[in-house]
Amino acid sequence: MHIFQLFSRVGPKTLEKIGSPESALMVDLQWILERLPVGVWVAQVPSGEVIYANPEFSTIVGMNAVSGVEIGEAPAIYKIFDRTGAPYPVENLPFSRVVSTGQPATVDDIVIHRTDGRKVNIRAFAYPAFNDVGEICHVVVAFIDITQEIAADVGKKEMEARLALAVNHAPIVIWAADVHGVVTLSEGAGLSSLGVKSGQLVGQNLFDTFRNHPSVPGYLRRGLAGESFWYTVEVDSAIYDTWLTPLRNAAGEVAGIAGLSNDVTEIRRLQANAIQNDRVIAMGTLAASVAHEINNPLTYILGNLDYLRENLDQIEKLIQSVPEPARAIIRGQVAQMRKALDPVRAGTERIAAITRQLRTFGRPAADEPGLVNVRTAVDSVLKLMRKELEARAQLKVLLQETAPVLGNSARVSQVVMNLVVNAMQALARSTGEAPAIWIITRNEGTTVVIEVSDNGPGVPQQDRERIFEPFVTTNNVDDGTGLGLFVCRNIVRELSGRIIVGDRPGGGAIFRVELPASQTTAESRWTPSVAVAHSHGHVLIIEDELLVAEIMSRQLSSAGYRASVELDPDRALERLTAEENEIDLVYCDLMMKKMSGMELAEAITVRAPSQLRKFVFMTGGAFTPRARVFRERHAAQMVEKPFDVLTETSRRLKAMRAR
């Protein structure tokens, strides 16, 4: 049978449609097949030997058809593979499928590995041709090159996979709704903040879902009115930055809206923390500066108050020789003077306490950290405050032994004391059940927990972050400065912990401090300092504040020390670098105008380094970065104004002489 007659058998209706003589059709078919951009391969049944292949066959496959090759040899001869790179199964070839089923077959997973190195993806269509008795005598296979189509499909799938990866992991939501507000698309990991997954919002009406929200329905209406815009919205506890735009049909009419929402909840939280930290840094700088300016006058005010008290003691001794009634009159005047001095000193000491708290804002503790027994630190607070606590409330204490924490015992005690004072102040505002305070310590895994709770009015949810800000208080004006909780948080953060406030079961507030347990079980290196009696010696005071220098000199001199004062740091430098000097101890102000204590220390290090060990640097607040670094480097030689100059001098001189 001629090949072109064979094609007439493939489609018997073809001759009738064309209406041409058979010979003319054969010419037309030959012309078409030779120019058709489709590979054509015809094989006889059952061997599969080729009887015809058009030129496009060779173009696509990269080689001419090979005569005499049976179907079982075809995969090896023509290098036919599947998409995984495995040799293509003979039974799955289009020819084999037609022979086995008697029906046309289509396959599109064939890959030809051409000799020129190219890999060509093939989609093949196979049809049976029947002889006069109705048996399959030949199979006609037409195929096209779909390499670009496959590449495009692979690229599309890769792009969809990347897009799905981004949408399913990035904190975004891609959504759309129709003109009625019914969700038609809802995809993205950003939905998790709403407690739903991709696709779960589809079918919901946004106007119904957010009917009680103050702004969402208005944004939806703006989009459906044809407006494109950005907006930020808070839904429950999640915050989204959203771009909303209308969707239009072919006629240009609004057919719905689409939105891209970015879940910025975590970013906003980090921004809030950054702003808060910036405020803390600014407050620390300001507080240190203010403390420095306040502590200098505080030093001489407290010193002179002590001096006045000592003089009143002397007057009382002297009036013993004065006859009555003058003695009674003088004694009464002295008593009145003492009575007037007491509130002055109490007020001054309160100012000093506030400035000490201010200093904790801007810097970490300068002391070298050691191992702290938390239970011991809490016990030390209870020893000071138990009587006052039990007079105001029922005290319930459960102190379990805990792992040590790395820090400073005094700082941990300060946290506990501030929390206890806060609880007492809260109870003062309570009108409910009998007041009670609970103090608990325990281990929770690798965390040491301190809890201070009360059955007072509690802390409203909206105030739970705000109460840790400086100078914020819910107490009466006379009850405190609003610094206690802020100081607590700063100290706890220095110790790599955290402090949180919540509701106490049964009512009231519970403050929970979590500190990381130390990994070592060694005993704390901290030992309490002991005040010892002073020994006489020569003390040099370098201070550009005359009143501070005078009161220190007067106190030292009255105690039997030889005290010298230098208001000019340059003159002090000359005295300290002279070949002969009898100076035993030097008090030097850290922040002087003409030459700072830091600059004086640098000069001493160059000219007379042995003298530097005699220095004690006085500070009312190191508020510059350089001063803070110097302070930490010379922590053992620092003292905070105001201080007990006699106790400090005695301790320092005894330690120096012991060395």
Radius of gyration of the chain (CA): 46
What token pair was written down for 4? 């072109």
- How many CB atoms are located within 10 Å of the residue 188 CB? 23
Model pLDDT, residue 364: 45
Model pLDDT, residue 533: 38
Q: Out of 100-114, 173-187, 342-356, 583-597, pick the least confident.
A: 342-356
Report residue 578's pLDDT band, with 50, 70 and 90 as the boundaries. Answer: confident
Model pLDDT, residue 43: 94
Higher local confidence (pLDDT), 203 or 463:
203
Model pLDDT, residue 138: 94
Model pLDDT, residue 626: 82
Residue 241 pLDDT exceeds 80: yes
Residue 528 pLDDT exceeds 70: no
For domain 370-516, give the CATH number: 3.30.565.10
Report residue 11's pLDDT band, with 50, 70 and 90 as the boundaries. Answer: very low
User: Is 36-152 a domain of CATH 3.20.20.140?
Assistant: no
Q: Pairing between strand 447-454 and 509-516?
A: antiparallel
Model pLDDT, residue 449: 95
| Separation between Cα atoms, residue 428 and residue 121, nearest integer Å | 85
Model pLDDT, residue 656: 85
Give the mean model confidence (pLDDT) for residues 306-332.
83
Model pLDDT, residue 471: 62
Give the mean model confidence (pLDDT) for residues 128-151.
92
Model pLDDT, residue 24: 52
Model pLDDT, residue 272: 67
Measured in whole angstroms, the distance separating CA 394 from the mean position of its chain's CA atoms is 39
Model pLDDT, residue 12: 40
Q: Out of 72-86, 362-376, 429-443, pick the least confident.
A: 362-376
Model pLDDT, residue 18: 35
Amino acid type, 513: V
CA distances from 312 to 61, 318, 340 (A): 118, 10, 12
pLDDT above 70: percentage of residues in the chain:
84
Give the mean model confidence (pLDDT) for residues 2-27.
46
Mean pLDDT of the chain: 82
| Separation between Cα atoms, residue 10 and residue 16, nearest integer Å | 13
Residue 580 pLDDT exceeds 80: no
Higher local confidence (pLDDT), 93 or 387:
93
Residue 22 pLDDT exceeds 60: no
Q: Out of 221-235, 315-329, 473-487, 563-577, pick the least confident.
A: 473-487
Residue ranges, CATH 3.40.50.2300, the chain: 538-658
| Separation between Cα atoms, residue 420 and residue 418, nearest integer Å | 5
277-362 to CATH, choices 1.10.287, 2.60.40, 1.10.150, 1.10.3470: 1.10.287
Residue ranges, CATH 3.30.450.20, the chain: 36-152, 170-263
Q: 538-658 architecture in CATH?
A: 3-Layer(aba) Sandwich (3.40)
Site of tokens 């919002």:
201
What token pair was written down for 43? 């094989």
Asked if 459 contacts 501 with a C-beta cutoff of 8 angstroms, the reply is yes
Model pLDDT, residue 36: 87
Model pLDDT, residue 109: 94
Nearest to 357 by CA among 494, 477, 482, 273: 482
- How many CB atoms are located within 10 Å of the residue 139 CB? 27
Give the mean model confidence (pLDDT) for residues 280-301.
67
Mean pLDDT comparison of 33-47, 278-292, 309-323, 526-540, highest-scoring range: 33-47
Residue 103 pLDDT exceeds 50: yes
Is 169 exposed, middle or buried (CB count within 10 Å of its CB: 0-12, 13-18, 19+)? exposed
What token pair was written down for 332? 């009464």
Q: What residues pair up with 259 in beta bridges, in sequence order?
A: 175, 244
Phi, psi of 35 (to 5 degrees): -115, -5
Model pLDDT, residue 303: 78
Q: Enter the DSSP assignment of 250.
A: T
Residue 363 pLDDT exceeds 50: no
Instruction: Return the half-sphere exposure (C-beta side, CA atoms, 13 A cut-off) of residue 16.
Output: 4
Report residue 621's pLDDT band, with 50, 70 and 90 as the boundaries. Answer: low
pLDDT in tens, 163-193: 777 777 788 899 999 999 999 999 988 888 8
pLDDT in tens, 446-495: 999 999 999 888 888 888 887 887 766 655 544 555 677 888 888 888 88
Residue 161 pLDDT exceeds 90: no
User: Is 170-263 a domain of CATH 3.30.450.20?
Assistant: yes
Higher local confidence (pLDDT), 79 or 334:
79
Q: Pairing between strand 538-542 and 562-566?
A: parallel
Model pLDDT, residue 529: 36
Is 467 exposed, middle or buried (CB count within 10 Å of its CB: 0-12, 13-18, 19+)? buried
Model pLDDT, residue 403: 92
Model pLDDT, residue 124: 95
Asked if 420 contacts 437 with a C-beta cutoff of 8 angstroms, the reply is yes
DSSP per-residue codes, 420-460: HHHHHHHHHT--SSS-EEEEEEEEETTEEEEEEEESSS---
Q: Out of 217-221, 368-372, 622-626, pick the least confident.
A: 622-626
Model pLDDT, residue 380: 80
Model pLDDT, residue 368: 55
Higher local confidence (pLDDT), 501 or 348:
501
Asked if 111 contacts 122 with a C-beta cutoff of 8 angstroms, the reply is yes
Residue 13 pLDDT exceeds 50: no
pLDDT above 90: percentage of residues in the chain:
37
| Separation between Cα atoms, residue 262 and residue 419, nearest integer Å | 39
Report residue 292's pLDDT band, with 50, 70 and 90 as the boundaries. Answer: low
Amino acid type, 618: M
Model pLDDT, residue 19: 41
Give the mean model confidence (pLDDT) for residues 98-109.
94
Site of tokens 């700063």:
490
